[in-house]
Amino acid sequence: MAHEETAGTALVTGASSGIGAEYAVRLARRGHDLVLVARRADRLEALAGRLREEAGVAVEPVVADLAHSADLARIAERASADDVALLVNNAGINGYGPFAEVDAGLLAKVIAVNVTAPTILTRAAVPGMLARGRGAVVNVASLLAFAGDLPPGPLPHRAVYGGTKGYVVAFTRTLAAELAGAPVRVQVVCPGLTATEFHLGTGEAPVPGEARVHGDGGMLAADVVTASLAALETGEVVCVPGLTDADAVARLADAELALRGGSGTTLAPRYGDAERAHE
């Protein structure tokens, strides 16, 4: 990353495995002190010890469940501290399953972790970053944010998860536009299937035991982080690690502009014709 985003502490949520753990490793190698947040104390402590020894950085492991308001408030207070120069909102759970069958409490937890937590933590971190004249926020979303009505098989049942990741994309893009010209960068990274343990559970509870990878393959977490950090250097707001055609993001923006053409005062003829057919 550029110099203005390398100094200071990086706070990484969901840091006990997968993409979050890889961010921690890479940022430690770049000289960041770390605040690592996750639910699994044993994994956090092991990672913290390893990074202290290997990279010589300070590592603060913090056990927290971001679905709990008290834990979120505690992490938000830490994110607002003067030393935090980079916030990585990586924590996420999936709650996969047919919408009419998934427990409503689990869906509420998906929204709390995937939507409320990154919003609150970003709000906690950005004012101080602006005041200090440096900083960055990376939000981890998913290509499932763009999956729309594609059917399950091989994609999962994902109505709420896809909706939460769609929020993360829209939130990040809009905030990045709001902060254009400011000394704080904002990025959303949208991986496809990634070789982690994410698909081994719904997120109601942490995946138990040693770190492992689901059997469906996917991009290495290390490659996702490589893409994200490279994109942060160049100011790329939407990072899709496996996307060769970078212009696809610009075409998406063009399509959105066309949709916003419907904000006028005249009703589209097809709706008026439908209403008249019932008169």
CA distance linking residue 58 with residue 94, whole number of Å: 31
pLDDT at 2: 42
User: 268 and 262 in contact (C-beta within 8 Å)?
Assistant: yes
How open is the CA angle 133-113-88, to the nearest 5 degrees? 30
Minimum mean pLDDT among 63-72, 183-192, 261-270: which range?
Answer: 261-270
> Is pLDDT at 70 greater than 80 in this prediction?
yes
| Residues written for the chain | 279
Q: How many domains does the chain have?
A: 1
pLDDT at 1: 43
Torsion of CA 53, 58, 61, 66, to 10 degrees: -140
pLDDT at 201: 58
Under the banding of pLDDT at 50, 70 and 90, the label for residue 7 is low
User: Considering the entire predicted model, what is its pTM?
Assistant: 0.92
Q: Provide the phi-psi class of 95: left if phi over 0, else alpha when psi is between -120 and 50, else beta.
A: left
Alpha helices in 89-158 (DSSP H): 104-111, 117-132
> Is pLDDT at 202 greater than 70 in this prediction?
no
> Is pLDDT at 208 greater than 90 in this prediction?
no
Pairing of strands 59-63, 135-140: unpaired
Mean pLDDT of all residues in 225-247: 97
Containing structural domain, residue 139: 3-276
CA 253 vs. chain centroid, Å, equals: 20
The DSSP string of 240-275 is: -TT-S-THHHHHHHHHHHHHGGGGSSSPPHHHHHHH
Minimum mean pLDDT among 166-170, 203-207, 270-274: which range?
Answer: 203-207
pLDDT at 21: 97
Under the banding of pLDDT at 50, 70 and 90, the label for residue 212 is low
> Among all residues, which ones are annotated catalytic?
161
What are the tens digits of pLDDT across the range 88-143? 999 999 999 999 999 999 999 999 999 999 999 999 999 999 999 999 999 999 99
CA distance linking residue 234 with residue 85, whole number of Å: 17
- CB contact set of 89 (below 8 Å; sequence gap of 6+): 13, 117, 118, 121, 122, 137, 138, 139, 140, 168
> Is pLDDT at 240 greater than 90 in this prediction?
yes
> Is pLDDT at 66 greater than 80 in this prediction?
yes
Under the banding of pLDDT at 50, 70 and 90, the label for residue 199 is low
Minimum mean pLDDT among 19-33, 77-91, 207-221: which range?
Answer: 207-221
Q: What is the CATH number of the domain that holds 121?
A: 3.40.50.720
Helix (H) / strand (E) element for 37: namely strand 33-38
> Is pLDDT at 4 greater than 60 in this prediction?
no
CA distance linking residue 43 with residue 26, whole number of Å: 17
pLDDT at 210: 60
How far lies 224's CA from each of 72, 87, 159, 228, in Å? 26, 16, 24, 6
CA distance linking residue 270 with residue 267, whole number of Å: 8
Under the banding of pLDDT at 50, 70 and 90, the label for residue 3 is very low
Average of per-residue pLDDT values in the chain: 92
- Compute the chain's Rg from CA coordinates: 20
Under the banding of pLDDT at 50, 70 and 90, the label for residue 154 is confident
